[in-house]
Structure 1
C-alpha cells in the first residue's frame, strides 16, 4: 500500500518548523528519521495533510554539555551514538544501547527524538532514558519546557506532546566515575523489538538507584524496592524477590511474559554487579 497524499515540508530552521506545525492546526506529522512514521504512512495508519521533516535541522543535530547534564538533539541518529561521533556519548550506557537498536540500516536513519516521540513500549530509548532519570525538551512557538521521562510517556504510543509541539532534545544527567549500569533485552531474533527488557543505573554520586522494566503494555515501570535492595546489599536479589517485584509492576502480563521479564531483570543486574565498573 502507498501513503495517502500529503504535503512534504523540509524547513531550514527550528522556528520555521514550529511555525509550520502551529499553522497546521494538528493536521501535520513531524518526521525525524522516518523509520516508524514511514511504515505508518504506507499502511495508512496515519494520514496527515502535511509531513514536516526536521532530520536536517542543525538546532536538533547538536550534542553539548550544560552543567552536569548532556543535551542530545532530537535529530541525532542511533548510528552516530553507536559510532562515537559525539565524544560526550562515548563509552557509556547510551552508546551500548544504540548499538543494539534494530538493524544498522535503521540506526543510520532513526533518531533519538523520533523514537521517544513515537513512544513504542518496546523501544530502547524510552527505557534507557527513564532509567537514567533523563528529561525531554519540548519546543513550540510559545517557548520550551522540560518534562521528566517518568511523566513523558503516558501509555503505548502516547506522550504529553501537545498540538504545535515537537521534541527538541533529550537531557541526560552525566554519571559519576563510580556509576554502574546494565541493559538487557530478550528478542525473538537480533534486531527485532524486545519481548522483555530491563535497564538499571546505580550512581553513588547522584544517589541514584533505578531498576526499570521495559516492553510492557505502556510506559516503562520502575522497581524502586528492588533497586533499594540491590543498592543496600550489593548483590543480585534471589529469583523469588525479583519475580515478586516484576509481578507487582507487570500484573497485566501473562505468566510467560513475567518469567521473561524476571530473567531480563536478573541478567541486567548481573551486568551491573560485575567485578569492575562497566564505564
Structure 2
C-alpha cells in the first residue's frame, strides 16, 4: 500500500475530512481546514478552548502543503517521506481511522449491485541478523470468496466515496467478518511458509557464534547477572522471528 503520489494522497485525505481544496497546482496544495482538522493538525488547543469558553466561532487555519521539490522554497510546508507534517498526518490516520467503509462511485440510472470486500493491509516484520518489513494488501470478496493480492494498487484506479451512489445497492455478505479474517490469516501464513528461509539460517549461525564468543569471554568466571543479561541481549538481537500487524483496513463495496 505504498503511497506513490503524495499530492493525490493528501488531496484525498483532506477531502475525506470535509476540508475545502482552495488550490492545487504544480505540487502546491492549499486547504481550508475544518475546526476538527485544525484541532488535529495545528496544535492550537488553548485557542480553541478560549473560543469555546467565550461562546465565539473560531477561525480554522488555511494550510499550504508543497510536494513539488522545485517549489520547496515557497511559502508552505514542504512535504516528503519522513517530514514531520506527513508523519503527523499518518499518525492521525493510524490513531483515528484504521478502519473504514467506502463505496465505489458509480454514475448510473439503473439498479447496480455493489459487492462487499474485506481489505486488510498487513505489515510483516522479519527480525534477526537482518531486519526487513513487507506490506501485504489483501482483499477478500465476502460473497464468492475471491481473493486478490495488491488490493490497494487495484483500488487506486477505482473512485471511492463515503456515501453510496444513487441507484446502487449493497449485496449482503455470505462470509462473516471473523471467517473472512481467518481466511486472510491463512493466506498470510501460507505466503510466509513459501518465503526463502536463508535469512533465518544466517541469523541462527550468527546467534550461535555470538553466544560462543560470550562463553569464551566469561569461561573462567561463574555465571552472573551481567553474563545472563548479555546472553539475553544477543538472543533478542539475532534470534529469527516474524511478526504480523494489521496496519489498517475496511469494507469496500465494489461493482462486479
TM-score in same-fold range (> 0.5): no
TM-score between both structures, scaled by the size of structure 1: 0.24
Query: Of the two structures, which has the highest relative contact order with CA contacts closer than 8 Å and spacing of 6 or more?
Result: 2
| Higher Cα radius of gyration | 2
